[in-house]
Every structure is written in structure tokens, then in C-alpha cells.
Amino acid sequence: MSGEARSAANGEAVLEIEDLRTSFRLRRGTVRAVDGVDLFVRRSERVGIVGESGCGKSTLALSVMRLIQTPGASITGSVRLGGLDLLALAEDEMTQVRGARVAMVYQDPYTFLNPVFRVGDQIAESLIAHRGMSIADARTETLALLAKLQLPQPASIIDAYPHQLSGGQRQRIVIGMAIACRPALLIADEPTTALDVTVQAQTLRLIGRLVADLGMSLLLISHDLSVIAALCDRVYVMYAGQIVESGPVEALYGGARHPYTSALFGATTTLLDPKREFTVIPGAPPDLASPPSGCRFAVRCPHRMDRCAQPPPPFAAGPGWDARCWLLDETADASARR
Amino acid sequence: MSRYLFWRLLQAIPLSLGVIVLTFLLIRLAPGDPIAVLAGERSTAEYQAQLRKDLGLDQPLPVQLVRYLGSVLSGNLGYSFSLQQSVLSLVLQRLPATLLLMGASLLLSVTLGVWIGVRTAVRPHTLGSNVATVGSLLGYSLPSFWLGQILILVFAVWLHWFPLVGMTSLVRLTGLAYWADVAWHLVLPTLTISAFNLALFARLVRASMREALEQDFIVSARGKGLPSRIVVYRHALRNALLPVVTIFGLNLGAMLAGFVLVETVFGWPGLGRLTFDAIAARDYPVIGGMFVFLSEAVILANLLTDVLYGAIDPRIRYA
């Protein structure tokens, strides 16, 4: 754990993850989808996790929620939510935490809503389960919530079925399900990926406003750097199950220190600068059933050196800014020059 | 919903007419001459001709068909040669016994089948699950007439726990004692009929529950902090029941057909037994009447299934 994480632990951290490891036993071996992640989210802070698909960011989110259902999955390490050790809780205790203190917005509003129940009921059941509300009270509260989600005509939408709503409206319902009980931490896993481009910005703004209004902390997961930039204060860059760089959004966007982060930026296009060419990262991420023992990005890295065969520790790149790359090791640089 | 219902009802009309025509033709196709059975083997040719004329069997087939259609539609299913009664009154007499047996076995097989299916889907690798899986395979594959006879042998002949045959004891009973007696007679035939359906539902529900539990909305239901009881029985089961309801509707016809054997084995005074006796006596009006009656019952059952389907899945209701 870095010094900064420890200082966060002393006061304001809502979520603190230490050495989180999630693995799946498959026929071809044990896949370590999340492999030793340290991460924290302060109160009212908006933190992003960025990485390409398959890097373990969704598994990380589901591990925090303890929603991984795959038989033979193992989660170790520590996940503390406001002082509560989530991985140590019994399942029925965790049931009381989910939805009430930490809740999640999922990627696909088409599949994460139950097709046979009215959307209002799908929000209200959370209120009934956690706040012990009567059905009538929960309905009133749900109506107010639908208005807060900027859904048109809440009085008719509350009785609609998911298939009667548009993708953007459904995603608002999913958001409503998550924030109904005002959790301290909201985890949003690719909340706009399945939506039309026109609705994406709207949905992101809504999430940002709700997080601010309700005083929640946000952990936003995305493969899209611009989504993270629009909403987050700090960002963690994930590669092959590990955090390779973390720091304030402005710092990283100003000049990433880890070659993978730089490559990610190079691989994005922007409408504002259409003439800029984007570069492709050569190769593919390592097989997480047998990852390389040293730096996991080394085989694709343009700056590869001999030391990369050893796993790099996090090096400080600035205040609150770490990168796991030997390039940042000044003593090594010096010794190499000698 | 009412529009949907209206169209489904409208569709049922040509289907019903088709069934009646088919029944008529099927009976005429069957080997053997009803007149020979009716008049007796030693009757004179004149008597047989007279009988043929009286019953209208000398008319050309289309004329017979139109007469048949007309009488069926006016509620007249014909007159039983062997039992000297109108077919409709026979059917109505025997219907309650069959409905009782059917209701009891449906109640048992649906409730227990759904429960076993859900349990084995939620905890697939426990001892109880494996026992239930093997048991349902057995129940699924044992022929009901054989199972019925084995049950009679073991529980009636050897152990004397249950009566051999029939729906009531020979002693006249009234009130509660009568119903207790009927219930006592009901046990073995109900078990016999339920074995197959119980197994069918348990297997169906297990398969569709396992699929439902894999869905994303189960993750979000758990993510809301709902207790697993609600996640399983509300969110998963409601979705898992859709295919089950379909099979249930399709299977009602087969189930009614199974009653012919089971009621015969247990001497149960219902429609199945009536059908069996009618076939043995070549009592064509009764066979034809049963055909029409059972077909209409199946059409009605399918109609109800569709309505039920719409009630469970809003996407169908509003389509």
C-alpha cells in the first residue's frame, strides 16, 4: 500500500481495496482476472478505472459487490467500505450492504432489467428491502426519483415495462435502481457503452449531477478515456489484471508516465482534432492464465529493457501519482548509464 | 389484452370445426362394421339393412357429415348403442371423476415439480439434487399402466394401505366420511398420473431456472440487495415459467390420453374408462363424442395457456 492510501485510510476513504485478487479456475488453468489491485475512493470523490476489454475492470467491480457467480471463483485481499470488511461478511450481511451502501450501474440496460416486471417496481423493491417502506410509500418515493432522473411523465413510466422504454430511458431506470437507497458509493461499469452516442453525454451528465447532489462517491469504469475525463477527479489505468498507473486526471492527461497509458491515449481519436492520426498498440494482452513474470506490458512496449523481466514496483511520478514502470526508476537509469 | 383474446377465440372456431370433421372421417375409416356389432352376428340381412337406414348410415358420406356437424353443434354428441344413453349425458356423468383425478395430479405435479425444479437448479450438486434428477428420469420413463399395476400390487395387495380399484368403497358413506373415502381411493391413481408430469415439470423447471439464473437481471437483482429467496422465486422463476407454461398446455392433451390407461387400471369411473369401454364395445358414437369432447378440451387448454402466457410475459400481452 502506498503512503497516500494509508493516509486516506485514516480518514476520508469510502472504499479501500488492498491486494485484491480474483481468479477463476478454468480447464486451461487458473485465470487471475484481478491480480493484486490496491485502490481507494475518498468521500465525494469521482474515480475512474480505464483499460481495454478483458483487463479485469468489470471483474474488479463485481468483486467489490461480491456479485461473481461463477463456480470456482476466488476473491482474496481486503475490500473495506466505510470500515466494513466486505470480503469477511456473511452472505446475508452482504445482502444488506448491496444496494444500500454500495450499488452498481451496469453496462447493458437491455439485459440488466427484468423483462417481466414494471420498471417502477424494480426500483421500489430496493426501497422496500432496505428501508422497510410500505408499497405505497415506495411508490411515492419512486415517482420522486423518476422525476430526479429527468424521465418524462414519471406517472406513466412508473408502470411501464422495460421493452416499452428506449435505451437511454432504461439506463436511467438502472441508475434509479442503484441510487434509490442513496449508497455511499456508486459503481458504474461502462454505463454509456451500450447507448447511442447522442444519449451518452446526457447520461454521463446525469450521473455526475446525481453523484454531486446526493453526496455519493463514484467509481466509474470505462474503456473510454474521454468518458473518464468528463467525470472523474482521479484515474486508475488497468492492464492485464493490475493497476499500471494512477493519479489525478489532469496530470495523467497532461503527460502519462507509463508507456501503456501513453499508448492508450495514442489509440484514441477525437472529433476536435480529426487530423490527428491514432496509433494501434501492437500485439495482444497476455493470457491471464499464464501472465509473464515481469512487467505484463513489456512484450508490447516500445521502451522494453532488460529490467522489464522483473515486476516493476509503483514509482512516484508526482503528488498522488504512481506508475509501475522501470522507466521512472532514476537510480536504475543512473546505473544503466554508468 | 382483450383484443388478443378476441383473436385467439376467433381462431379456435375453425379449429374446432376441423376437429369435428376429422373425428367423423376417422371413425368411418376404422375397420369393422358398427351395424354388425349392433345387430348381432346372427341377425338377418333385412334387419341389418333396416338398422342401417334408421341410423342414416346408408346415406352418402357428405350427407352424413353435414348431419353429424349439425347435431354436434346443437350439443347432441350421439346415442350410445352399448349403454343406451345419450353420449352427452354419459360424458357429463363421468366428467367429475376425471376432473377430480386431473385436478389432484396437476396440483401435486405442478407444485412439487416446480419446487423440486427450483431447488435442483439453485443447488445443482447436492445429494438431494442428484436423487431428484435420477428420480425424475425414472418417473419420466416408467409407463403409467405398469407403474399403476406395481403401485396396486405393493400398496393395495401386499400392504393393504390403499384400496385396489374404484373411486368409492361399497359401503354407503355421507359427508366428510364420503370425501375421506374418495381421497383414500384417489392416492394411487394420482401418484400414477403424477409420476410422469412431476418428472416433466421438475426437469423443465430445472432447465429453464438454470438458464434464468444466468441472466444479467439476476445479477442486478442481487446487486440491489434483494434476499436470495426473492431473487430466485420472484425474478428468476417468473421468467423460467414461460417455457414451462407452454409445455404444460401442449402436454394437457397427452395427459388426457394417459387417463384412458390409468383409469382402466384403477377402475376409475371417469372419461378415460368410458373411452376404453367404448372402444372395446365398438361404440362409435361414444368414441366420436369423446374425440370431440377431448379435442375441444385441448383447444380450450391451449387458449388458457396463451392467456396465461400473456399474463406472465408483458412483451406478449402488448405485442
Contact state of A163 with B314 under an 8 Å Cβ cutoff? yes
Is residue A290 within 8 A of residue A269, CB to CB? The reply is no
Distance CA B317, CA B301 (A): 18
Q: Is residue A338 over pLDDT 50? A: no
Residue among B223, B239, B315 minimizing CB distance to A104: B223
Contacts of A116 in chain B (CB under 8 A): 238-239, 312-315
pLDDT, tens digit, for every residue of A11-38?
Answer: 579 999 999 999 999 888 899 999 999 9
Contacts of B223 in chain A (CB under 8 A): 65, 67, 98-99, 103-104, 106, 178
Residue among B222, B227, B318 minimizing CB distance to A67: B222
Contact state of A99 with B223 under an 8 Å Cβ cutoff? yes
- Arithmetic mean of pLDDT, B251-273: 87
Q: Is residue B108 over pLDDT 80? A: yes
Contacts of A92 in chain B (CB under 8 A): 227
Is residue A177 within 8 A of residue B220, CB to CB? The reply is yes
Distance CA B272, CA B261 (A): 7
Contact state of B314 with A115 under an 8 Å Cβ cutoff? yes
Residue among B220, B226, B313 minimizing CB distance to A112: B220
Highest mean pLDDT among A94-98, B132-136, B313-317: A94-98
- Arithmetic mean of pLDDT, B140-161: 88
Residue among A117, A126, A163 minimizing CB distance to B225: A126
% of chain B at pLDDT higher than 70: 99
pLDDT, tens digit, for every residue of A231-244?
Answer: 999 999 999 999 99
Q: Is residue A335 over pLDDT 70? A: no
- Arithmetic mean of pLDDT, A313-318: 90
Q: Quick one: cell of B297?
A: 378440451
Lowest pLDDT segment from A19-28, A145-154, A227-236, B73-82: B73-82
- pLDDT at position A8 is 46
- Arithmetic mean of pLDDT, A304-308: 91
Residue among B217, B223, B225 minimizing CB distance to A114: B217
What is the domain partition of chain A in residue ranges?
258-338
Q: What are B's interface residues with A at a Cβ cutoff of 8 A? A: 215-217, 219-228, 230, 235, 238-239, 312-315, 318
Residue range B96-317, CATH number? 1.10.3720.10
Between residues B62 and A174, the one the model is more confident about: A174
Asked if the C-beta of A221 comes within 8 angstroms of chain B's C-beta atoms, the answer is no
Distance CA A27, CA B286 (A): 62
pLDDT, tens digit, for every residue of A181-217?
Answer: 999 999 999 999 888 888 999 999 999 999 999 999 9
- pLDDT at position A243 is 95
**Average pLDDT of chain B?**
86
Is residue A265 within 8 A of residue A237, CB to CB? The reply is no
| Beta strand ranges found along A94-156 (DSSP E) | 102-105
Between residues A286 and B222, the one the model is more confident about: B222
A126 to chain B, closest Cα gap in Å: 6
Q: Quick one: cell of A295?
A: 512487467
A332 to chain B, closest Cα gap in Å: 46
Q: Is residue A3 over pLDDT 50? A: no
Residue among A106, A130, A161 minimizing CB distance to B216: A106
**In a mutagenesis test of the A interface, which of B125, B129, B220 is the best target, namely the one with the most A β-carbons within 10 Å?**
B220
Asked if the C-beta of A190 comes within 8 angstroms of chain B's C-beta atoms, the answer is no
Closest CA to B248 of B195, B160, B308: B308
Distance CA A254, CA A265 (A): 11
Q: Is residue B99 over pLDDT 80? A: yes
Q: Is residue B178 over pLDDT 60? A: yes
A vs B, Cβ pairs < 8 A, gives 85
- pLDDT at position B60 is 85
- pLDDT at position B61 is 85
- pLDDT at position A188 is 96
Q: Nearest residue of B to residue A68 by CA position?
A: B219
- pLDDT at position A337 is 42
- What does A177-205 look like in DSSP terms, one character per residue? HHHTT--SEEEEESTTTTS-HHHHHHHHH
pLDDT, tens digit, for every residue of A40-65?
Answer: 999 999 999 999 888 999 999 999 99
Contacts of B235 in chain A (CB under 8 A): 114, 117
Q: Quick one: cell of B56?
A: 342414416
Contact state of B223 with A163 under an 8 Å Cβ cutoff? no
Distance CA B171, CA B157 (A): 20
CA separation (Å) from A148 to A112, A127, A175, A207, A305?
21, 16, 11, 11, 53
- pLDDT at position A276 is 65
Residues, chain B, total?
A: 319
Contacts of B226 in chain A (CB under 8 A): 95, 99, 125-126, 129
pLDDT, tens digit, for every residue of B10-40?
Answer: 888 898 889 888 888 887 787 777 777 777 7
Residue entry with cell 526508476: A329
Contact state of A100 with B313 under an 8 Å Cβ cutoff? no
- pLDDT at position A129 is 94
- pLDDT at position A6 is 46
**In a mutagenesis test of the B interface, which of A58, A113, A114 is the best target, namely the one with the most B β-carbons within 10 Å?**
A114
- pLDDT at position A43 is 93
Between residues A307 and A283, the one the model is more confident about: A307
**Average pLDDT of chain A?**
89
Distance CA A115, CA A134 (A): 24
Contacts of B225 in chain A (CB under 8 A): 95-100, 126, 129-130, 181
Residue entry with cell 415439470: B201
Confidence of residue A7 (pLDDT cuts 50, 70, 90): very low
Domain with CATH 1.10.3720.10 in chain B: 96-317
- pLDDT at position A29 is 87
Q: Quick one: cell of B262?
A: 390409468
Confidence of residue A269 (pLDDT cuts 50, 70, 90): low
Q: Is residue B319 over pLDDT 70? A: no
Distance CA A116, CA A103 (A): 22
Between residues B244 and A75, the one the model is more confident about: A75
Q: Quick one: cell of B85?
A: 344413453
Distance CA A161, CA B189 (A): 43
Contact state of A177 with B224 under an 8 Å Cβ cutoff? yes
Helix boundaries (H) for chain B: 2-29, 34-39, 45-54, 61-73, 87-122, 127-141, 144-151, 175-213, 216-223, 228-230, 237-266, 271-280, 284-312, 314-317
Q: Is residue A5 over pLDDT 50? A: no
Between residues A274 and B259, the one the model is more confident about: B259
Asked if the C-beta of A97 comes within 8 angstroms of chain B's C-beta atoms, the answer is yes
- pLDDT at position A145 is 95
Phi, psi dihedrals of residue A268, rounded to the nearest 5°: -100, 150
Q: Is residue B114 over pLDDT 90? A: yes
